[in-house]
Amino acid sequence: MSDLKKDLNEIAPPKPKKIVQRKAKKSVTQILARTRKKVAKAEQTLRSAKQAAENTKKKLLTIDKALTGKETQLLTEDIIESAPKNVQEHVQNQEVIFKPNSGPQTQFLASSEREVFYGGARGGGKSYAMLVDPLRYCTYCKSQGTPSKEDNA
C-alpha cells in the first residue's frame, strides 16, 4: 500500500477545467483575430485588383472605339500609356491630325458639356480649340455649322 501512495503522490493532479477552458478560449480568440485580419487584407487586395481591372477595361474600350470609329473619342496620353505595348505601337502608327496643347486646351476639348468657359491670355490656343472642337461631331451625317469668332478689339 505504501508503494501505491507513493505512485499517487508522483502523479500530478489534473488542472481545473476552468483554467484549461480559459487558455483554450484565449488561444482560439487570438487565432480568429489573426485570421480576420488576413481575410480583410485579402479582400482589400481583391477590391483594388478589381478596380484596376475595371479602369484598364474602360481605357481599352475607349481606345477600341476611337480606332474603329464607332465613337468619337479623345485619347489622352495617360490612356495610351496605360495600354499594352502592342496597342501603344498601333496607336502611335495612326495618323494624328491634331494634338491639343497640354492644359486648358486639352481640358476644353475633353469636356462633354455643351457650354464651357475657356479664357486666358493671347496664344493659349482658344481660337484653335474652337475650330477643332466641332470636328468631334463630323461623324454624324446631319452635322453642319460654321465656326465664327467675334473680335471686339
pLDDT for 124 equals 78
Q: What is the pLDDT of residues 100-123, one digit of tens each?
A: 778 888 888 878 787 888 888 787
Q: Please report, for the chain, the start and end positions of each structural domain, with discontinuous segments joined by +.
A: 97-153
- Compute the CA torsion angle 75, 79, 85, 87 (nearest 10 deg): -40
pLDDT for 43 equals 96
Q: Are 48 and 21 in contact (CB under 8 A)?
A: no
pLDDT for 93 equals 79
How much is the average pLDDT of 134-148? 62
For 36, list phi and psi in degrees, rounded to 5: -65, -40
Q: Are 75 and 62 in contact (CB under 8 A)?
A: yes
Place of cell 505504501: 2
pLDDT for 142 equals 59
CA 10 to chain centre: 69
HSE-CB for 22 with a 13 A CA cutoff: 5
How much is the average pLDDT of 127-136? 78
CB neighbour list of residue 49: distance below 8 Å, 6 or more residues apart: none
Amino acid at 61: L
Q: What is the pLDDT of residues 74-104, one digit of tens each?
A: 677 778 888 888 888 887 777 767 777 788 8
CB burial class (10 A; 0-12, 13-18, 19+) of residue 124? middle
Grid coordinates representing 74 are 479623345
Place of cell 483594388: 48
CB burial class (10 A; 0-12, 13-18, 19+) of residue 109? buried
Q: What is the pLDDT of residues 10-61, one digit of tens each?
A: 666 666 677 777 888 888 899 999 999 999 999 999 999 999 999 888 888 8
pLDDT for 139 equals 61
Cα separation, 92 vs 29, in Å, equals 58
